[in-house]
Amino acid sequence: MAFKKTAETLPKGAHTLGRDYYVNPEILQKEYENLFLNNWICAGRSLDLAENGQYKVINIDTESVIVIRDDNGNLKAHFNVCRHRGTRICKNETGQFSKSIQCGYHGWTYDLKGKLIGAPHMDAVDGFNKKDYPLHSIALAEWEGFIFINLSDEPKDFESVFAPLKDRFSPWNISDLIVMETKEYHVKGNWKLVIQNFCECYHCPILHPELAAIHNYMGGRNDLHEGPFLGGYMDFNDDKDSITTSGELCCPPLNGVKDENLNRVYYYAIAPNMLLSLHPEYVMYHTVWPDGVDKCKVTCSWLFAKDVIASGKYNTKDAVDFWDMTNKQDWYISELSQLGIQSKKYSPAPYSGQESLLAAFDQYYLDKINKK
């Protein structure tokens, strides 16, 4: 939704992606295999699973993941596949286990760390050892209070991949913030349209007049403009203090946010599925999940300081309502884009100087999905 760059930084000949990238199921399969199942993806907040035994299920294409807090209070992730006959164990999106995880087919039972602890009548099978049949584990990392998972058999080291973001957001102390509200949206458009829309404000004066009144779409700078992390900041207009319905702060600024950060909003796309927005007094993040080639699910959460939420005296709804309105404007135009791209008359056109991050995203995306 932001990110201004000058026309001189736009790669020569940069243009929108071809029609197939938004309508071809075979390309979607490449995206699943080379992006979503082979990279670190955001799976929510650590505090989503506050209690031991609490779990959530993440479904990506034909894969399903159980993210759980074990009985030692550590987060783990397992493939949602029983080791006996391959049955999917958890059907609900969220839930709570007491001491163990049991498959509803033949009763194979696992502890919260994924170790097989019960297998009825298997003791009569020669050579059978429960130690050989734990749930398949999935790499998991925590960063700034967010959960990231990687379904690859050989995941790249999280710390190395995320090194460009190390300490970048420390003034916001994001790991200490609490989700105040989450909204889920179902968009009738390809998932990339949501990401690409976020990465430019060329559309803001027409589509978001309320947002354009808070920050000028020409007033900003990108500090990450290649690879999986893209974004930068935009300055507020002189008479505005934050992105809320009133244009004023909806609560006191976060303790670590000082100086120029009090007059800016930062927008970052963290490929493949996370969008992060940092305001003086709150943080907002989206996760984007493909649901077929022409649909996607988007979740949006608003994070505030614990004491702000506990006090109940601040108008945090001012921020939530503004972005809920703006989100819906974006989903509306993304759905119209999907409808238009499906036409036989659609063909790629040049990006403007205000869309250089889209060209950068496309380059990263094409490099990833075309890898063998």
Report pLDDT for 371: 79
Q: How far is the C-alpha of 133 from the C-alpha of 164, rounded, in Å?
A: 38
Per DSSP, 242 falls in state: S
Report pLDDT for 293: 98
Per DSSP, 137 falls in state: B
Instruction: Report percent pLDDT > 70 for the chain.
Output: 98
Report pLDDT for 3: 37
Instruction: Please name the residue ranges forming H helices in the chain.
Output: 20-23, 25-31, 158-161, 191-198, 204-207, 209-212, 306-311, 317-341, 356-369
Q: What's domain 41-155's superfamily in CATH?
A: Rieske [2Fe-2S] iron-sulphur domain (2.102.10.10)
Tell me how far CA of residue 351 lies from CA of 12, 17, 99, 216, in angstroms.
10, 10, 55, 20
Residue 201 CB neighbour total at 10 angstroms:
26
How many H helices and E strands in the chain? 9, 17
Work out the pLDDT band at 365, boundaries 50, 70, 90. Answer: very high
Buried b (16+ CB within 10 A) or exposed e, 40-49: bbbbbbbebb
- Residue among 174, 179, 164 at smallest CA distance from 143: 174
> What is the DSSP annotation of 7-67?
GGGSPTT-BPPPTHHHH-HHHHHHHIIIIITTS-EEEEEGGGG-STTEEEEEEETTEEEEE
Report pLDDT for 202: 85
Report pLDDT for 157: 98
Report pLDDT for 5: 39
If phi > 0 it is left, if psi is from -120 to 50 it is alpha, else beta; for residue 312 that is left
Q: What is the mean pLDDT of residues 130-153?
A: 98
Q: For the chain, what's the residue count?
A: 372
Report pLDDT for 7: 38
- Residue among 160, 141, 134, 159 at smallest CA distance from 75: 141
Q: Are 282 and 250 in contact (CB under 8 A)?
A: yes
Residues 206-237: tens digit of each pLDDT: 999 999 999 987 877 899 999 999 999 999 99
Q: How far is the C-alpha of 44 from the C-alpha of 122, rounded, in Å?
A: 37
Interacting residues of 271 by C-beta distance below 8 A, sequence separation 6+: 35, 39, 195, 228, 229, 230, 361, 364, 365
pTM of the model: 0.95
Work out the pLDDT band at 372, boundaries 50, 70, 90. Answer: low
Work out the pLDDT band at 4, boundaries 50, 70, 90. Answer: very low
Can you give the residue ranges of every domain in the chain? 7-37+169-369, 41-155
First to last CA, the chain: 32
Residue 299 CB neighbour total at 10 angstroms:
15
> What angle is formed at CA 273 by the lines to CA 46 and CA 80, rounded to 5 degrees?
60
The tokens of 149 are what? 């998972």
Q: Are 136 and 78 in contact (CB under 8 A)?
A: yes
Residues 239-279: tens digit of each pLDDT: 999 999 999 999 999 999 999 999 999 999 999 999 999 99
**pLDDT exceeds cutoff 90 at 135:** yes
Q: pLDDT higher for 202 or 167?
A: 167
CA 97 from centre of chain: 26
| Residue 321 burial class via C-beta count within 10 angstroms: exposed 0-12, middle 13-18, buried 19 and up | middle
> What is the DSSP annotation of 328-354?
HHHHHHHHHHHHHHTSTT----BPPGG
The CATH code belonging to domain 7-37+169-369 is: 3.90.380.10
Q: pLDDT higher for 91 or 372?
A: 91
- Residue among 46, 73, 41 at smallest CA distance from 303: 46
- Residue among 278, 273, 293, 283 at smallest CA distance from 195: 273
Work out the pLDDT band at 325, boundaries 50, 70, 90. Answer: very high
